[in-house]
């Protein structure tokens, strides 16, 4: 899976040794799974647990997507930095740029999962855009 | 199940039919395949009658477009006699809608109707014994003004009318007949025994005369339940209501109940009366709806629930064991609600009326802002969109019917005795405090959906279940399904 996720991430962002180190440490698959899992969890929460008429408009969906982005942005900084710190490797702005794309990829996952599972939701099946 | 022919006589007959229509619109069960109301009132412009006819027409328009096998609201089929007969006969029928048009009463005095001036001396003397000068001079344009002696002569034309023949030709063996009349006025008191006599003594040249003679006939006779303000210029005087009632009851004792002509006879009245403005008839006669009329409508539902065994006739067509019933309430209170009704009445109307009231509230308060926003409106191939609410089904028929439904509830509430089953101030913040004297089930879950959010949630669920029938069906079925669940959840009924 590391290969799969590295290709996905590196379509959007590749930064020399930083990307190589992410690959070597298997962080692409780790962060990819976290992004997929968190996006899925938030989509299930939005469509089936919250599932409220008063929170079913497109901008409510965007709020949840924003939460997904923020979680994955933060994890996109913390996880690589702590791993590389323990290996005495230091990078600067790469963490922040990579985290930005980690958040974007999580949002993509959230969109895909949303459009896959929304059909069976009682109150949000037309969110973010009506069928 | 069989057809039910209802003869609603006079203003009270019209108002009872109106109450019955609202009960049926809300989905109150009635054991009849088809209901055919015939309203008999010489006063063509009568406000009460015309209001009832408009409501019946809208009921039909709504039902035709929205009925399906799973319909809850408007499930009973209401038909005019005109719709029942085939095209060849239809041309000969003089009354095209729910009204029975009486001949010879428009712009005619009673003395002209009986051709008084051409009577010989002996017959003039006899007419003078039976009718006062005032009776003979009476203009019948606005009815019989509380004179049953005039009504009994004029309404006798019913048996020779095309309406009565078509009624007879469409009457089948197991069909039932119900007659609604008041006993303290003119038209009802005169018309009831006449119709009954014409049914029981149907001549042999009348189609299906044998079925008519042995028909299962029920009736409600409505005793005084309102008064009229004294007016020296009016022929109607409430002081005569009781004496007229006594006289009519005395007559019925010998000619209606006494001879077992009826299979079931219901009595109702109220001593706690309110005085209406004294209007002799025409468009001005638009009395407020009254609980007695709702109870009278319930008698029709009760009659249709009576088993055939209880309504058997002997070989001569007379009832073997007539049923006599009165209506009572659990608690006498100046204002009635569902809580003060007896268990059977409550059981029959609480749930359907509450469901319809909830639908009415949503349409009044919320529908416009919800259109195109939620799955019940914007999901599926068939949508309840902005176009739907501009179509006649919604914008004309349903809105007009709901306006009349709302007026009916307001009138019932302000009358004496008042019937206030619903709180009129229930709205956005307290939708389920809609029932007077009933608290909704409370939820202690802080995340539980409340008020209209719960309502929309149930509509969305309904949309999932119902799928994509034609839009009018989908609309009515969704609201029936959602309000049924809401009433169950919030009131445990």
For residue B422, being part of any structural domain is answered with: yes
Residue B71 sits in the same domain as residue B206? yes
The per-residue pLDDT for range B383-417, each reduced to its tens digit, is 999 999 999 999 999 999 999 999 999 999 998 88
Bridge partner residues of B181 (DSSP): B221
The per-residue pLDDT for range B18-56, each reduced to its tens digit, is 999 999 999 999 999 999 999 988 777 777 889 999 999
User: B206-232: buried (b, 16+ CB within 10 Å) or exposed (e) per residue?
Assistant: bebbebbbbbbbbbbbbbbbbbbeeee
Q: Do B461 and A54 touch (CB under 8 A)?
A: no
Note the pLDDT of residue B93. 57
Contacts B449 to A, Cβ<8 Å? 52-53
Q: Name the token pair of B300.
A: 């029709």
Q: Name the token pair of A48.
A: 């089936």
Contact indicator for B32, B2 with CB cutoff of 8 Å: yes
Q: Which residues of A touch B (CB under 8 A)?
A: 52-54, 56-57, 122-126, 130-131
Number of domain units in chain B: 2
Contacts B373 to A, Cβ<8 Å? 57
Span B225-246, mean pLDDT?
72
Q: How confident is the model at residue B150 (pLDDT cuts 50, 70, 90)?
A: confident
Q: How far apart are CA B452 and CA B429, in angstroms?
A: 8
For residue B55, being part of any structural domain is answered with: yes
The per-residue pLDDT for range B23-32, each reduced to its tens digit, is 999 999 999 9
For residue A64, being part of any structural domain is answered with: yes
How far apart are the two ends of chain B, measured CA to CA in Å? 27
Cα–Cα–Cα angle for B163, B3, B400, rounded to 5 degrees? 75
Number of domain units in chain A: 1
Span B425-448, mean pLDDT?
88
For residue A20, being part of any structural domain is answered with: no
ipTM: 0.85
**Range with the lowest mean pLDDT among A101-110, B95-104, B221-230, B308-317?**
B95-104
Whether the predicted pLDDT of B466 surpasses 80? yes
Note the pLDDT of residue B248. 80
Span B450-467, mean pLDDT?
94
Residue B392 sits in the same domain as residue B440? yes
- Peptide bond preceding B378: is omega within 30 degrees of 0, i.e. cis? no
Contacts A126 to B, Cβ<8 Å? 374-375, 378-379
The per-residue pLDDT for range B72-92, each reduced to its tens digit, is 999 999 999 888 776 556 555
Span A35-55, mean pLDDT?
96
For residue A1, being part of any structural domain is answered with: no
Residue B207 sits in the same domain as residue B319? yes
Residue B158 sits in the same domain as residue B296? yes
Nearest neighbour of B453 by CB, restricted to A53, A122, A126: A53
Q: Name the token pair of A121.
A: 């939701």
Burial (Cβ within 10 Å: 0-12, 13-18, ≥19) of residue A112: middle
For residue A17, being part of any structural domain is answered with: no
CA distance A52 to chain B (A): 7
For B126, B226, B390, the CA distances from B316, given in Å and listed in that order, are: 33, 38, 57
For residue B443, being part of any structural domain is answered with: yes
Single out the residue in B298, B327, B356 at which a domain terminates: B327
Contact indicator for B357, B422 with CB cutoff of 8 Å: yes
Residue B356 sits in the same domain as residue B425? yes
For residue B134, being part of any structural domain is answered with: no
**Range with the lowest mean pLDDT among B159-173, B356-370, B446-460?**
B159-173
B378 — contact with chain A (CB < 8 Å)? Answer: yes
For residue B135, being part of any structural domain is answered with: no
Span A75-87, mean pLDDT?
94
In the 8-state DSSP scheme, what is residue B235? Answer: S
For residue B133, being part of any structural domain is answered with: no
Q: Name the token pair of A52.
A: 């409220």
Q: Do A122 and B456 touch (CB under 8 A)?
A: no
Residue B35 sits in the same domain as residue B81? yes
For residue A100, being part of any structural domain is answered with: yes
For residue B231, being part of any structural domain is answered with: yes
Nearest neighbour of B453 by CB, restricted to A54, A122, A126: A54
For residue A38, being part of any structural domain is answered with: yes
* Cβ-based neighbours of B263, under 8 Å, separated by 6 or more: B216, B217, B218, B310, B311, B313, B319, B322, B323
Nearest neighbour of B460 by CB, restricted to A57, A123, A131: A123
Question: What is the domain extent for residue A114?
Answer: 26-120
For residue A113, being part of any structural domain is answered with: yes
Contact indicator for B221, B183 with CB cutoff of 8 Å: yes
Bridge partner residues of B217 (DSSP): B177
Question: What is the domain extent for residue B147?
Answer: 2-105+143-327
Residue B323 sits in the same domain as residue B349? no
Q: How far apart are CA B232 and CA B75, in angstroms?
A: 47
For residue A9, being part of any structural domain is answered with: no
Q: How far apart are CA A6 and CA B204, in angstroms?
A: 97
CA distance B398 to chain A (A): 26
Whether the predicted pLDDT of B263 surpasses 90? yes
Residue B313 sits in the same domain as residue B355? no
Note the pLDDT of residue B51. 92
DSSP sequence for B11-77: HHHHHHHHHHHHHHHTT---SEEEEEEEEE-S-TT-HHHHHHHHHHHHHHHHHHHH--TT--TT-S-
For residue B180, being part of any structural domain is answered with: yes
């Amino acid at each position: 899976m590391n290969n799969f996720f590295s290709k996905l991430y590196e379509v959007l962002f590749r930064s020399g040794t930083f990307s190589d180190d992410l690959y070597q440490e298997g962080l692409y698959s780790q962060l990819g799974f976290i992004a997929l899992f968190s996006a899925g969890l938030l989509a299930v929460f939005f469509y089936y647990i919250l599932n409220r008429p008063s929170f079913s408009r497109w901008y409510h969906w965007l709020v949840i997507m924003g939460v997904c982005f923020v979680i994955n942005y933060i994890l996109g900084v913390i996880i690589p930095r702590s791993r590389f710190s323990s290996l005495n490797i230091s990078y600067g702005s790469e963490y922040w740029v990579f985290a930005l794309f980690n958040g974007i990829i999580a949002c993509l996952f959230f969109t895909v999962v949303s459009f896959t599972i929304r059909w069976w939701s009682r109150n949000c099946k037309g969110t973010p855009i009506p069928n | 199940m069989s057809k039910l022919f209802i003869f609603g006589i006079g203003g009270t007959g019209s108002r009872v039919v109106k109450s019955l229509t609202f009960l049926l619109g809300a989905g109150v069960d009635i054991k009849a395949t088809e209901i055919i109301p015939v309203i008999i009132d010489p006063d063509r412009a009568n406000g009460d009658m015309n209001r009832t006819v408009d409501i019946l027409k809208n009921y039909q328009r709504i039902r035709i477009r929205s009925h399906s096998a799973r319909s809850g609201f408007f499930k009973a089929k209401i038909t005019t006699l005109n719709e029942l007969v085939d095209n060849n006969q239809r041309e000969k029928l003089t009354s095209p809608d729910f009204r029975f048009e009486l001949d010879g009463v428009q712009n005619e005095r009673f003395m002209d109707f009986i051709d008084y001036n051409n009577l010989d001396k002996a017959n003039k003397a006899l007419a003078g014994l039976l009718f006062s000068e005032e009776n003979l001079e009476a203009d019948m344009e606005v009815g019989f003004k509380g004179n049953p002696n005039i009504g009994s002569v004029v309404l006798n034309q019913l048996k020779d009318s095309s309406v009565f023949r078509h009624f007879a030709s469409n009457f089948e063996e197991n069909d039932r007949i119900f007659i609604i009349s008041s006993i303290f006025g003119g038209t009802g008191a005169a018309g009831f025994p006449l119709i009954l006599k014409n049914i029981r003594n149907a001549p042999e040249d009348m189609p299906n005369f044998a079925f008519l003679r042995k028909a299962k006939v029920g009736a409600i006779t409505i005793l005084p339940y309102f008064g009229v303000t004294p007016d020296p210029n009016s022929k109607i005087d409430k002081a005569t209501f009781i004496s007229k009632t006594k006289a009519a009851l005395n007559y019925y004792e010998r000619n209606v109940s006494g001879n077992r002509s009826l299979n079931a006879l219901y009595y109702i009245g109220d001593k706690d009366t309110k005085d209406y403005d004294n209007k002799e008839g025409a468009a001005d006669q638009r009395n407020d709806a009254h609980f007695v009329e709702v109870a009278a409508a319930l008698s029709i539902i009760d009659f249709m629930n009576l088993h055939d065994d209880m309504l058997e006739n002997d070989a001569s067509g007379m009832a073997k064991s007539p049923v006599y019933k009165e209506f009572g309430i659990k608690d006498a209170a100046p204002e009635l609600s569902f809580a003060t009704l007896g268990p059977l009445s409550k059981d029959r109307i609480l749930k359907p009326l509450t469901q319809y009231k909830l639908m009415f509230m949503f349409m009044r308060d919320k529908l416009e802002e919800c259109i195109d926003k939620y799955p019940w409106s914007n999901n599926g191939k068939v949508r309840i969109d902005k176009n739907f609410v501009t179509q006649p089904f919604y914008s004309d028929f349903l809105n007009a019917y709901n306006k009349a439904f709302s007026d009916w509830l307001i009138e019932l509430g302000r009358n004496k005795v008042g019937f206030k089953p619903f709180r009129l101030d229930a709205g956005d913040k307290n939708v389920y405090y809609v029932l007077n004297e009933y608290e909704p089930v409370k939820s202690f879950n802080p995340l539980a959906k409340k008020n209209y959010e719960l309502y929309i949630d149930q509509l969305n669920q309904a949309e999932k279940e119902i799928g994509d029938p034609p839009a009018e069906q989908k609309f009515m079925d969704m609201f029936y399904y959602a309000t049924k669940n809401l009433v169950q959840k919030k009131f445990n009924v």
